[in-house]
Chains A and B, each alone.
Chain A
Amino acid sequence: MKHAAIIVEDLWKRYQLGDIGAGNLKEALQGWWDRRILGKALPAADDLTGDNDLSGTNPTQDFWALKNIGFEVTKGEVFGIIGKNGAGKSTLLKLLSRISRPTRGVIRGTGTIASLLEVGTGFHEELTGRENIFLNGNILGMSNREIRGKFDAIVDFSGISKFIDTPVKRYSSGMYVRLAFAVAAHLNPDILVLDEVLSVGDTEFQEKCLTAIQELAGSGDCTVIYVSHNLSSVLQLCNRAMLLHQGQMVTVGLPRQVVDTYFKSMGKLNFHRCWENPGEAPGNEIIRMKKVALTPELSGQQRVIDVRTPLHIHFEFRNLSPGIDLSVGIHLFTGPGECVFDVPSASRILGEGDYAGSCTIPAHFLNDGAYYISIIFVKDTLEQVYYLEKCLAFEIADHRGTIQWKGKWMGAVRPQFPIQIVQKNSDVLR
C-alpha cells in the first residue's frame, strides 16, 4: 500500500525585511521605553516573546517567501522542486528540514528524515578524514554503530583511503568533497531532502553522485525531495515535480510537463522584451531600445531548446542622432560570464528613425548550458555609445542522439565541423 511520506498543508513563510539582523540594544531599549512607558505606537517591531501573529504587521516590512504551499509526497517517490532563484525553493527546503519554522501551516511526515543541503556539514579542518566521517555522520543523524558498519564502504566510495588519517585541511577541494559526499551517500533515512549537491565537484564526480542518488531512489524505500537548477537531472531522477514561482506553486505533475511549463514561463520573462513607452525604454540620447527577442526554431514535438535548435535574435531600436556611423554588436556570454563571441554588424550611416536587426545562431553551434546576450552600439567603429547588458537569457538542453557517453560535454561551443578520417595505407590489412 502506498501512503504519504510527507504532507504539506497551507504552508506560509514570512521574512522581515530591513535591518532586522543588525538590531542593536539601544534601539530596542528605546523602542521598549517608547512603547511600554510612553505608550507611543510604533511600527510593528517584533518583540522578544516572538509572535506568530499574521495580522497587524506593517506590510512594507514583510516578505512572503512562501505562499499557500500544499502537496503530498508518496513513500518511495522522488519529488523534484524547480524554479528560478528567489522562487522559494531554498526556503521550502529549510522548512522541510526543520532549520527554520513556518509562519503558518503544517508539514507532517512519517519516518526518519535527513537533509543534505550541503556536503560536509560540520567538517572540522583540524580533524582527520576518519574523525570527520564520524562527526559528519553523527550530525546527519547516523548512529555510531551505523557509521562503523558502513565505514569501509564510505572510505571505498570516497577513493581516498590513503589519506583517511590526514587532517582534512590538507585535502584538495576535490578530495574534501568526495569524502563528504561519501558519508552522505551512505545515509539511510526514510526521507531524504536534497539540495543541489550535484553542482559541486568535477563532472566525473557529479556522475557518481547522480548514480548514488538514483540507487537510493530506485530502492523504493527512500522518499527523496530534490531541489535543483539542473533540469536534466530533475527529468532523469524524479517521478514527479513541482514548479515554484515567487513563493507560489505554479504546477505539480510529471517532470516533463513541469519542466515545459518552466521553460514557457522563462520564455515570457527572458526571451522577449518590448518597450512600448520610449520614456521607460533603456537607452540614452542617441539610442532608445524598442524590442529584443530570441525565437528558437523548435521542430515538431520539441518543447525545449537543445543543441539542435537554431536561435533567431531580433532587436529594434530608435536612432536619435541623425548621420551617425553606427555598428551594432552582439555579445554572447556563458552563464558564468565568459564571452563566447563578439559579432559586430557592418558600420553604416543612419538617419533618425527606427531600425531593426537580426542574427541567427545556427543549430549545432552552442554547447548545452546557460547563456546570455548583451548588445553593444558603436559609433565610427571606435566609440561605444550604448551597451544593453544581459538583455536576453536562455538555457540550452543537451541532446546526445546515438552517443552513449553521458559525461558533461566540454566547451562553450559544440560546432559540428566535419572531421574526416581516411585510410592512409592499406598494407596492414594484407
Chain B
Amino acid sequence: MIPSSWEITSRTRWPDFYLKEIWQYRELLVRFVRRDFLASHKQTVLGSMWILIQPLLTALIYVVIFQNVVGVSTAGRPGLLFYFGSVILWNFFSESTLAVSYTYGSHAAIFNKVYFPRIITSVSIVSSQLVRLGIQFVIYLVFFAWGLWRDPAVRPNGYLLLLPVVIGVLALMSLGLGLIFATLSVRYRDLQNLLSSLFRIWMFATPVIYPLAIVPARYLDILRFNPVTPLLEVFRYGFLGAGMHGSFYLLYSLAFALAAFVGGIILFNLRDGKAMDIL
C-alpha cells in the first residue's frame, strides 16, 4: 500500500457528510455500539432484559394512570399496545438526541487524547439506540399479534410499510438536533441543563400518551408544528388503524429532519476544530 499524504491546516473543510470517514472508521463505530451494550448491563441480574423492562414498565404505568385512572382515550385500542409503541419510539428519539447532545462531555477524555472523526461517537450513539429499538420492536410485534387475535379494533393497513421511513426520519432528526445541541453546548453549558426539561415538555406536546384525535381543534395546528407528531400518528395508523395521518405532515417531518441533519452536520463541522480548545 502506498502511504497516503495528508495535511492539517486551520481551514475547515466543507462537509462531505463524512461518508468516507465513517466507512473508514466503521470498525470503531461498531466497537462503540458493542461497548455501550456490553457496559450498560454488567453486574445486573436481568442483564439486557432491562432494554425491554424499562419501556414495558413505563407503558404499564401509563395504562394504570392515564387510561384507567384519568381516563385518557387510547382510541379504542388496547392500552398496552397503544402506549408501548409510542413509548419505544419516543424514547428512541429523546434518548438518542440527548446522548448525542452530551457527546463532547461524555467523550472529552477520549477526544482530548486521540483523533478520529468526532462524528463517529454521535453516529454510534444513534446506532446503539436503533439496536435497542429493534429489540423492543420484536416485543411490540408480539403484543401486536396478540392484539390482532383478540381485539377486532386493531386494524393494520398498508401504512405500516412506512415504518422504516418513520424510524429513519426519527434517527436523522435526532442526529441532526443532537449535533446542533452538542455544538452549542460546548460554549453554552446552560443548554445541557435546559435540554432534559425541554424533552420532558416536548413529550407532552407530542401524542405519546394520547391520540392526536382527542386534541381540540385550536391546539391541533400547534401540535402538528411538532415534527415528531406526524411520525407517531402514521405509525399508529399503520399498525392499529387509529391515527391522523396526512402526506403533507409527513413530508413536513421529513423536511424538518433533513434540515436538522444538514444544519447539524454543517455546524458541527464548522465548530469541531475549535471545540477541543474550549472544553
Contacts and interface: CB of A to CB of B under 8 A. Distances in A.
A324 interface: no
A100 B277 CA distance: 7
A113 B7 CA distance: 12
Given A23-B188, A50-B270, A101 B113 contact: no
Given A50-B271, A106-B9, A110-B4, A121 B110 contact: yes
A135 B110 contact: no
Nearest to A27: B188
Given A101-B10, A108-B6, A139 B188 contact: no
Contacts of B188: 23-25, 28
Contact of B190 (A24, A110, A134): A24
B49 to A, nearest CB: 17
Interface in A7-55: 15-16, 20-26, 28, 46, 48-50, 52
Contact of A22 (B43, B110, B114, B189): B189
A118 B277 CA distance: 18
Interface string A322-343: 0000000000000000000000
Interface stretch (B14-22, B34-42, B56-64, B87-95): B34-42
Interface in A72-128: 94-113, 115, 117-118, 121-122, 124, 126-127
B116 A141 contact: yes
A395 interface: no
A190 interface: yes
Counting chain A CB atoms within 10 Å of each CB, the highest count among B38, B110, B113 belongs to: B113
Majority secondary structure of chain A interface residues (helix, strand, loop or mixed): loop
A241 interface: no
Contact of A109 (B6, B115, B270, B274): B6
B115 A126 contact: no
A171 to B, nearest CB: 15
A139 B28 contact: yes
B114 A121 contact: yes
Interface size bracket, A side? 35 or more
A21 B279 contact: yes
Nearest to A145: B27
Contacts of B66: none
Interface string A263-298: 000000000000000000000000000000000000
Contacts of A108: 5-8
A96 B183 CA distance: 23
Contacts of A190: 3
A64 to B, nearest CB: 13
B12 interface: yes
B276 interface: yes
A126 B114 contact: no
A222 to B, nearest CB: 12
A99 B279 CA distance: 12
Interface residues of B, number: 41
B22 to A, nearest CB: 14
A100 B110 contact: no
A110 B3 contact: yes
A117 B116 CA distance: 14
Contacts of A144: 27
A131 interface: yes
Nearest to A189: B3
B180 to A, nearest CB: 11
A358 interface: no
Contacts of A110: 3-6
B9 A139 contact: no
Counting chain B CB atoms within 10 Å of each CB, the highest count among A20, A138, A143 belongs to: A138
A49 B190 CA distance: 19
A190 B6 CA distance: 13
B7 to A, nearest CB: 5
A115 B8 contact: no
Contact of B38 (A104, A118, A126): A126
A139 B7 contact: no
Given A122-B114, A134-B31, A106 B7 contact: yes
Interface in B259-279: 270-271, 273-274, 276-279
Nearest to B29: A138
Nearest to A147: B27
A20 B35 contact: no
Contacts of B273: 50, 100-101
B25 to A, nearest CB: 8
A76 to B, nearest CB: 13
Contacts of A242: none
Given A99-B115, A109-B5, A138 B31 contact: yes
A243 interface: no
A303 to B, nearest CB: 35
Nearest to B9: A106
Interface in B171-218: 184, 187-191
Contacts of B116: 139, 141
24 contacts: A23-B188, A24-B189, A25-B188, A28-B187, A48-B184, A49-B270, A52-B10, A96-B8, A97-B115, A99-B115, A99-B276, A105-B9, A107-B8, A109-B8, A110-B6, A118-B113, A121-B110, A121-B113, A122-B110, A126-B43, A127-B42, A134-B31, A138-B28, A139-B110
Interface of A: 15-16, 20-26, 28, 46, 48-50, 52, 94-113, 115, 117-118, 121-122, 124, 126-127, 131, 134-135, 138-141, 143-144, 167, 190
The 9 closest A-B pairs by CB, nearest first: A111-B3, A98-B115, A101-B273, A107-B8, A126-B39, A25-B190, A138-B31, A138-B28, A126-B42
Given A117-B112, A127-B35, A138-B31, 13 more contacts: A15-B277, A21-B278, A23-B187, A24-B188, A46-B274, A52-B11, A95-B8, A96-B8, A101-B10, A109-B7, A112-B3, A115-B115, A122-B109
